[in-house]
Structure 1
């Protein structure tokens, strides 16, 4: 009777970039309004913009948030880029989240309106998004929220798709093949002597005589031939 054995191993799954994702290169926008009722009054609104949804590894992600604070409380904008991993197997789902980047801005005072801009540098080692697999999904989201004391924080979530960067190293063209000084521009070897090249060059040969001229040659010459 053979004993059953269990083997466990880790592997890295790399998904092919799905360039057919709808809205991949379109601008992203989100709006949110919040009323302050506890320990204050008024209304806070936030309008968030990004250039597009898809970004390559190592690319800069620029986020602009327009905050209008018409309340009696201050509001501090926070920008968070996080990943969401989902695993699906036998009807079960496992989800985990992890913060990748986090930035804070100065608080927007009461009865003020400001435009806040943050630029994230996407890590080059960040794995690309996985959106076309039935058992694994790797998503990225940009979360923008306003930290308001003694009130629930309004927030906006925008999807971000990380694409693999295709970097092809620049190739130097081969040296030109030819004669003369141009063929030795990128070489340490000194050019050859042009005089010797001129001597070694083949000389032009006169064409053979015609039949009429050949018949006029002396008989001794023809007999020698």
Structure 2
């Protein structure tokens, strides 16, 4: 069995993403903590945490990488009809904790959630610091869909989404992509491929292409685009 590095809690560093395992795909390191500084450093390097209760913190950087280029999002005919109804409201960052809670609810496949209490506390801290954001779809005062993620520079790193009504998460992604396109974002990182994401225009790109986008769009010197005025 191939060993992976164990990260200390008193130093913030990660091995190069190119050292990630092929099986399981993308496993790079374990240990460390979920401090804001470590999480932001991880995302800038194309790395994210993903683990279950009872496991150590596990860090991943899979290849290929699933992304959506905001200007190239695919909107199906049925989704266009849903968008035209306009019987819902889109809000940002008004119910971050509620969105995380909804994303952590058990899914129909019976699998447990990876959004542990530790993860929820860490990302809510990032939200308080202005790095983590929620996209919320409301109808008649009820939260019917949404997603949350991290905005760094000109990259949005999507983490999880949910639907309490049909198309709830699709509405959230669509409005997020519109905002990202208007504000000059390079891409929306979706991490791992799924048919649901592919139906919305997600594509898989190689690690070098993804890391190049991060170097251009998520370096510490790049200004935060999330709070730019929309035209």
With the shorter chain as reference, the TM-score category is under 0.3
- TM-score, L = length of structure 1: 0.24
Instruction: Say which structure is richer in strand.
Output: 1
Query: Greater helix share, 1 or 2?
Result: 2
Structure index of larger Rg: 1
Report which structure shows greater RCO (CA 8 Å, sep ≥6): 2
Name the TM-score, length of structure 2 as normaliser.
0.23
